[in-house]
Structures are given as C-alpha cells and as structure tokens.
C-alpha cells in the first residue's frame, strides 16, 4: 500500500485528497492520499526526516512550500527559480522536489482558452506573492513580457528582478495605465476571495481580444472574472490550475498518468 498526502498547516481545506482519491479509484490502485497537518514548530524536522513519515511523496501547501524546497536533496530547476516546492517524492532515499503550479497554470489556459498564447506580448500579473512567482515563471517560459503590479512595490521589484529584460514592476494602483496594452491579465492576489475586497481596475480599457484569468477559485467566478466577462472578454477560472498541477505528482507516486476530465471538475466544483 502506497501512501501520499497533502502536507500543510492547516490542511482541512485542501481539495487535493478529493482529486487524487478520484484517480486512485479510477485506476483501481491500492494506495491512499490523505492529509498531514504539521505544526509550525515541527516543520523543519518533518521535511528533514521525510523518509520517516511513511509517505512515498505528497503535495506541499501553505505555509511550507519554501521549507520543503530548502529541505529537498534534489530540486527540479523550476523549484530553484521560484523558491518553492509543491510536489515531493522519495527516490533512492533522497527527498526530491518539483513545483507544478506553473505547469498547472499553463495547462488550464491551454485547455480552457486555446490560442491564448498565440501572440505572446505583454502579460499583466496582479500580485507578487508566492503564487505570482510560479505564474511569472510560467509566462516568461511561454514567451511573454511580464508586468508585475503589486500593492507593495518592493515585492514586485524583487520578483521582476529574477527575470532581467523579461519582467518589470510597478504599483497596483497603476493597473489602469498598463491594462490598455495588455493581451493577458491574471490576478494572483487574494483580493476577490470570499469576503475580500475587489481589485480596482477598469477592465473596459483592456483590448477586446485579451484573456483574463484568476488563480482564486473560491468563488469560482471572482468579481474580477465577472467584471471581465460582462465586458465580453475571454475568461478562465482558477479551478483548472488546481486540477492540472496535481497530474505530475500522481504520475510520479502511482505510475499512471491521469487526465483532467469534466467529471473530475464537476466533483471538485460540487465541494467548493
Ligand atoms: P500567495 O502565496 O497566495 O500569493 P502571499 O504571498 O501572501 O500569498 O501574497 C498575497 C498577494 O496578495 C500579495 O501580492 C499581496 O500584496 P502585498 O505584497 O502588497 O501584501 C496581495 N494582497 C493581499 N491583500 C491585498 C489587498 N488588500 N490589496 C492589494 N493586494 C493585496
């Protein structure tokens, strides 16, 4: 019996067990995928002695993505670029780490808005936190020039500084100025989550063929996406990113490559 899990603090809100549970059943694999809540005082020790956990691997969620990346003996290059890991597995006694958030982000857009990257020009990324790091890395990889706008300018500058000539930074309050020429817009801030405030951006100035996405998926249609849709812009919600980022981990742990289907999406949607 193989055990995998999502590791974080807290982990009760994670939908990963639902996703992997669905695939385990589908492939009839004798394995399980649970939740491991690790208290902050124990975190360094937990990842340093991951082999003792009895897990063959797992996902890492808030607040341990950076801790896990540091603890790994092998890191995929993207982990070093982004400074965070979301997928772990053991290989020959060595803890290995990947970050599949960027892959999930791109796969969701490829799936829901085919051609969204046909003429990669300027992408506007709102926010400069942990989630933005993976998104910016993926967009640069796809050939976009990325403008990072954040409430705290220093964070946007630090992130943009990792991609000289490909990314630049400014404050979030300047969003309207840049939106006029943006072909692609993504919200990575926590604004728009249940009960949170909205983003101060006039989407009526955005080019008519722009694609707009949000990595927040609770609610599925954030105020940002609703506003974009009401102006006739193509929108993609954030749920697919969660589903697609799970694929590489499952493949590594259980040896079968699963698909993101309408059935899986409906299952998770019903749980939101
Ligand atoms: P995550 O890992 O989910 O990205 P994070 O690292 O805490 O979480 O980043 C949260 C992002 O939302 C940041 O860009 C943050 O802006 P600051 O860097 O200025 O804190 C942004 N954010 C959160 N609340 C915000 C608010 N009320 N207005 C504008 N931006 C906000």
Cα–Cα distance for residue pair 208/194, rounded to 1 Å: 28
Which atom of ligand 1 is closest in space to residue 65's alpha carbon? 2
Average pLDDT over residues 144-173: 97
Average pLDDT over residues 178-189: 96
Q: What is the pLDDT, as a whole number, of residue 194?
A: 60
Distance 118 CA to ligand 1 centre (A): 29
What residue's CA is closest to ligand 1, atom 12?
A: 189
Cα–Cα distance for residue pair 193/125, rounded to 1 Å: 17
Distance 88 CA to ligand 1 centre (A): 26
Q: Is 65 a catalytic residue?
A: yes
Cα–Cα distance for residue pair 241/223, rounded to 1 Å: 18
At 256, is the pLDDT very low, low, confident or very high (cuts 50, 70, 90)? very high
Alpha helices in the chain (DSSP H): 16-27, 43-48, 65-71, 77-82, 101-112, 130-141, 153-160, 175-179, 223-230, 239-245, 247-254, 262-269
- Active-site entry in 25, 30, 65, 194: 65
Residue 79: count other Cβ atoms within 10 Å of its Cβ. 22
Average pLDDT over residues 202-218: 94
Average pLDDT over residues 75-102: 98
What residue's CA is closest to ligand 1, atom 31?
A: 189
What residue's CA is closest to ligand 1, atom 23?
A: 190
Domains of the chain: 2-99+240-271 (3.40.50.10860), 102-237 (3.40.50.720)
Long-range contacts of 139-144 (CB under 8 A, 24+ apart): 139/184, 139/186, 140/166, 140/167, 141/102, 141/106, 142/106, 142/117, 143/117, 144/117, 144/120, 144/184
Distance 54 CA to ligand 1 centre (A): 35
**Ligand 1, pocket-test mutation among 189, 195, 216, 222, most atoms within 8 A of CB:** 189
123 DSSP β-pair partners:
146, 184
Look up the pTM and report it. 0.96
Query: For the segment 221-244, what is each residue's pLDDT rounded down to a tens digit?
Result: 999 999 999 999 999 999 999 999
Taken as a whole, the chain contains a residue count of 272
């Amino acid at each position: 019996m193989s055990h995998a899990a999502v590791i974080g603090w807290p982990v009760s809100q994670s939908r990963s067990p639902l996703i992997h549970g669905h695939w385990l059943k589908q492939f009839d694999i004798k394995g399980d995928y649970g939740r491991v809540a690790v208290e902050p005082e124990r975190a360094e020790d937990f990842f340093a002695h991951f082999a003792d956990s009895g897990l063959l691997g797992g996902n890492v969620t808030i607040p341990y993505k950076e801790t896990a990346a540091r603890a790994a003996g092998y890191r995929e290059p993207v982990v070093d670029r982004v400074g965070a890991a979301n997928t772990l597995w053991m290989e020959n006694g060595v803890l290995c780490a990947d970050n599949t958030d960027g892959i999930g982000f791109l796969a969701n857009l490829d799936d829901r808005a085919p051609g969204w990257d046909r003429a990669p020009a300027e992408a506007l990324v709102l926010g400069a936190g942990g989630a933005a790091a993976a998104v910016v890395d993926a967009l640069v990889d796809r050939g976009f020039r990325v403008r990072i706008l954040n409430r705290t300018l220093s964070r946007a500058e630090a992130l943009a500084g990792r991609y000289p000539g490909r990314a630049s930074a400014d404050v979030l309050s300047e969003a309207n100025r840049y939106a006029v020429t943006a072909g692609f817009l993504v919200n990575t801030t926590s604004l728009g989550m249940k009960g949170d405030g909205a983003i101060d951006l006039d989407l009526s100035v955005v080019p008519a063929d722009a694609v707009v996405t949000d990595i927040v998926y609770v609610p599925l249609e954030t105020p940002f996406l609703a506003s974009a849709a009401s102006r006739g812009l193509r929108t993609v919600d954030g749920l697919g990113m969660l589903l697609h980022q799970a694929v590489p981990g499952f493949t590594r742990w259980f040896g079968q490559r699963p698909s993101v289907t309408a059935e899986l999406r409906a299952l998770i949607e019903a749980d939101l």
